[in-house]
């Protein structure tokens, strides 16, 4: 966090990125949802190594 | 926040947030050794060591990373909710802390079982769980570190609004 506000002073670029969610954020969100869905799918299929007896 | 204080907070955040995945990587190595070894002396040493590492290094580093990160972001123009990369790091760190606390129970369970010569049910399942969870944690924390280094572009709607407010005051 040593650089301060890299997008300040770049009007058009800032508006472009503020107006829509960046692609990397969408991909990150999709990956997170996929991992959570996969975990619960494996969990309910009894394949996830989660100990219930503890 | 004064420049000196900001640098102190940043130094604390870098030290803790880089040490955190390092400590989890050590935990992962011990967890793998615990799974592959057949030597009971090694098992009796590994799992209690993992419990000590988790309670005295990993948990403190996890919360120190979270606290210093929040202080650093709030004390600078980055803010806590202005840039997507900061928000994503927060969304990684908070669930990681919660998942870590949930996993303290199986860690303690394995330490007790190891000291009792691995007597107990489903030990293999718990051993595998610790390997997979710590492996996933290392990956997630490397992603968080990469986000801090690359700082990918993207203002949140709140960040854009704040920036407009700052500009209109100039």
Q: Would the CA dihedral through B82, B75, A32, A23 be positive or negative?
A: positive
Chain A residues with beta carbon closer than 8 angstroms to that of B159: 18
- The answer to whether residue A4 neighbours chain B at the CB level (below 8 Å) is yes
pLDDT at B1: 81
pLDDT at B22: 97
Distance from CA of B157 to the nearest CA of A (A): 6
Which residue has 């988790």 as its token pair?
Answer: B54
Average pLDDT, chain B: 93
Predicted complex ipTM? 0.75
Q: Cβ(B55)–Cβ(B89) under 8 Å?
A: no
pLDDT at B122: 74
Average pLDDT over residues B124-136: 92
Q: What is the pLDDT of residues A1-54, one digit of tens each?
A: 444 444 444 444 555 455 688 999 999 999 999 999 998 888 888 777 666 555
Q: Cβ(A7)–Cβ(A13) under 8 Å?
A: yes
CB contacts < 8 A, A to B, total 70
Q: What is the pLDDT of residues B150-166, one digit of tens each?
A: 999 999 999 999 888 88
Average pLDDT over residues B78-98: 94
- Report the helix count and the strand count for chain B, using DSSP H and E: 6, 0
- Residue in chain A lying closest to B13 (CA): A1
Cβ within 8 Å, pair A4-B84: no
Q: What is the pLDDT of residues B89-118, one digit of tens each?
A: 999 999 999 999 999 999 999 999 999 987
């Amino acid at each position: 966090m040593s650089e301060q506000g890299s997008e300040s002073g770049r009007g058009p670029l800032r508006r472009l990125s503020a107006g829509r969610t960046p692609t990397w954020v969408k991909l990150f969100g999709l990956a997170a949802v996929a991992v959570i869905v996969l975990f619960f799918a494996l969990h309910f299929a009894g394949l996830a190594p989660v100990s219930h007896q503890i | 926040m004064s420049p000196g204080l900001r640098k102190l907070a940043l130094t604390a955040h870098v030290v803790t947030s880089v040490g955190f995945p390092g400590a989890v990587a050590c935990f992962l190595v011990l967890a793998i050794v615990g799974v592959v070894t057949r030597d009971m002396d090694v098992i009796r040493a590994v799992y209690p060591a993992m419990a000590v590492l988790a309670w005295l290094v990993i948990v403190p580093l996890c919360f120190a990373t979270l606290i210093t990160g929040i202080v650093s972001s709030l004390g600078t123009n980055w803010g806590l909710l202005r840039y997507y990369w900061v928000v994503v790091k927060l969304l990684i760190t908070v669930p990681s802390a919660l998942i870590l606390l949930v996993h303290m129970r199986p860690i303690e369970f394995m330490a007790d079982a190891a000291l009792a010569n691995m007597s107990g049910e489903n030990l293999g399942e718990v051993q595998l769980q610790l390997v997979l969870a710590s492996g996933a944690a290392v990956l997630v924390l490397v992603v968080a570190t990469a986000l801090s280094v690359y700082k990918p572009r993207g203002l949140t709607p709140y960040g854009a609004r704040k920036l407009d407010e700052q500009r209109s005051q100039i």
